[in-house]
Structure 1
């Protein structure tokens, strides 16, 4: 394909799509801007009309990922309503679903080393996404006596850590790792142990 200096379509988005494919195949450090430009069918010089460098391109992929993540988490939260427990558990499962369905975005968001503070737009998108999980945690925490109630930010961070750990170890086919249980079951049981410790669900018979 001949490279084009000018592009009549949405070159910015085509470059993001190319970067996502390369990130998924090679990791966030495994490609150059020239390779992204080649996949988009333009010269490397054309990339600089939209991005200052590779990290800016990855940051935009991460921003778009957080926008999708916020939608996925929000939909899960609403599906679980009006039960605070069901809504909370649904957001944990949504984390796994997002990582599997959008691996390129997931890697750009969590494995690229790009700070969410790199741009105001990226920070705002990340805040919206984590706000859903924190809201679900806050709703559920109202069922805990005040003297035993952890801060919602801590509550949601615990579930984020569990979800992220299950994804990284068992849901993305990491080399050398294998679980005897599906990732969903691992996460559900882990959240169950955590919520029992807080007295939010009854102990097993």
Structure 2
């Protein structure tokens, strides 16, 4: 079998790509570094030139996932402009879209037990993703009277939690969980109920 990592000159990325495939098929604890090396077509010893252990490899997969995630969130936010409401709703939908399109990255980011503070680089890009949603919340909360306005960080955390819950319970084939409604509809109506409660959507919208 040819050494794919050596052949294309990017062994580190070949190992990350291999890890993502294994994470998606077996979970973040369901493979060894040796198996990741075999998947990438290199020797186990070659892994340690780039990663100290499996958690370091998963952390890099998570970091790359957050880069993609932050870009998608930012694109969604920009696509909804100049409407603060549409921009905010778009960032919520982007969460669900990311989980569907990049399941390996999603698992590395949110289900592996790897802290976002494991490395400064991981913390920075995770913060960038969160900042997009918080910026959208800040824009939208300007329409709420001061005495009813929640902090933007709380506002964004509510939507993040709602999005994450829909993904975990209904969009990732959780055993024993089923919904008569598509995940997209659950998220959209959930966000709608939340925003109506804040007075940002009229009851008949």
> TM-score, normalized by length of structure 1?
0.97
Alpha-carbon shift at residue 2 of structure 1 (Å): 5.8
- Deviation string 1:141-161 (CA, Å, 9 cap, x unpaired) is 000001110000000000000
> Which residue of structure 1 aligns with residue 64 of structure 2?
64
> Which residue of structure 1 aligns with residue 147 of structure 2?
147
Distance 2:31 2:98 in 1: 23
C-alpha spacing 1:104/1:84, structure 2 compared with 1 (3 Å): same
Alpha-carbon shift at residue 173 of structure 1 (Å): 1.4
Aligned partner of residue 128 in structure 2, secondary structure = helix
> TM-score, normalized by length of structure 2?
0.97
The answer to whether structure 1 residue 81 and structure 2 residue 84 are counterparts is: no
Aligned length: 204
Distance 2:3 2:183 in 1: 43
Alpha-carbon shift at residue 7 of structure 1 (Å): 2.3
> Which residue of structure 2 aligns with residue 129 of structure 1?
129
Q: Given that residues 3 and 38 in structure 1 are in contact (C-alpha distance below 8 angstroms), is that contact kept between their aligned partners in structure 2?
A: no
Q: How does 1:1-205 map to 2 (within 5 A)?
A: 1=1, 7-8=6-7, 9-204=9-204
- Deviation string 1:152-183 (CA, Å, 9 cap, x unpaired) is 00000000000000000111111211110110
Distance 2:2 2:191 in 1: 53
Alpha-carbon shift at residue 3 of structure 1 (Å): 5.8
Aligned partner of residue 7 in structure 1, secondary structure = helix
Please give the root-mean-square deviation of Cα atoms over the aligned residues, in Å. 1.3
- Deviation string 1:74-103 (CA, Å, 9 cap, x unpaired) is 100011000000000000000000000000
Alpha-carbon shift at residue 204 of structure 1 (Å): 2.6
Distance 2:2 2:69 in 1: 36
Q: Structure 2: state its 5+ residue gaps.
A: none
Distance 2:89 2:148 in 1: 20
Distance 2:48 2:160 in 1: 36
Moved over 6 A (4+): none
Aligned partner of residue 116 in structure 1, secondary structure = coil
Q: Structure 1: state its 5+ residue gaps.
A: none
Alpha-carbon shift at residue 123 of structure 1 (Å): 0.2
Alpha-carbon shift at residue 189 of structure 1 (Å): 0.5
